[in-house]
Structure 1
Amino acid sequence: MELISSFPPFTQQLYGLVMTSDNHLLTMTRCGNGKALQMNPSLLKYTFRGHLVAVIPLQLPLLIKSKLRFMALSGNSLYISDLGASYVYWVDATTGKLVDVIAGPGEKPGCFTEPSGIACDSNGNILIGDSRSNRIQIFDGESREYKGVLECSQKTIVRPSAICLQGDDKLIAVNYISHSVSFYSIIVETSHLSK
């Protein structure tokens, strides 16, 4: 693999990375370490050459234990997981304003214990890793309502961290505990889940 380019070092830690429809890179600044809020987080929009295009302050109801870590983009809808406070936020990617809180802490379906990686399928469904509950939960892309737990070829997905989709029938997940990357066949295509 050949390195094509690299941005200069940043003065703060960055989390999450998505590509926008206008071919810019969007990442976010760190807001906390799980013990104290350190700064107000922002979205940073860059060109592929590393030129900063915009700084968009995130307007979220953060808690002391907030740790914004993962995100996914579908159109202008940006989904951000708060690993520390166990919330998933729906944000307008152009303004940084909170549109809604998709889910909060808990173990029942539709709630999270350390939400992690997020991916959106071609139908707009939102797949979110629920790290401590060892599952991937699915939410409808239009209503943002809970649809179910993703069924994969291997019954248990252990501590999913970052996730991505290959088409709508393969899930790739980083396993936080075993420090590995796993590939899964999705048993029920997300497009066939009931609305």
Structure 2
Amino acid sequence: MATHAIIKNFRSSLIPAQSKSHRSFFYWITIMFNRVDENRVKEVGPDRACAEWLLRNGAAVKWREDGSILSDYNALSSLEEPQKHIEAVDATNSAISYHGFPHFNGCNYINEVKLVNCVYVEDPAIPLLSILKNTLKHLEISNCLNISEKALFDLNKLTKLKKLKLGNLPQVKNKSEVIEKLTKSLPDCNIVFT
């Protein structure tokens, strides 16, 4: 009986270790799919490289030139076609993480970003949105379980914002403080926090 208890305790002690390594594996995969390849950016340009990152992780882009929306990585145009520029990003249910946000560097036409139900978007991602401070006018952050009010305060750098929609952010403990601070720093922005 004592041997059986020892084996049972040993097995139960293995379960958290297995879960932990399982999470680490997926975390590592997420980083690999989000990392910036500077050589690729130089080769294809910032908008194409950014679109590749977004599409590879399940997001969609809207092209400025023709208004078309692309959500299938395999449908990307060939490199011989004229370069297009990203106008909007819909990252709903995608696997993007802050490791990939530097892809926004050099994308000079993005005016809308939707971060909805992005499980890998954490606090470090929000300050990186300031890369888009000269063009971003519409931003939605909803159902992102790893975003706190501390990160949301960094949205004050997005002075061109006209509409900010926030919702279902369980790490945010004081919604009224967030609204108050952002309203002061972004007086021309319509802020909705549900």
What band does the TM-score fall into relative to the shorter chain? under 0.3
Instruction: Output the TM-score relative to the length of structure 1.
Output: 0.28
Greater share of residues in strand? 1
Normalising by the residue count of structure 2, what TM-score does the alignment of the two structures yield?
0.28
Of the two, which has the highest radius of gyration?
Answer: 2
- Give the structure with the higher percent helix: 2
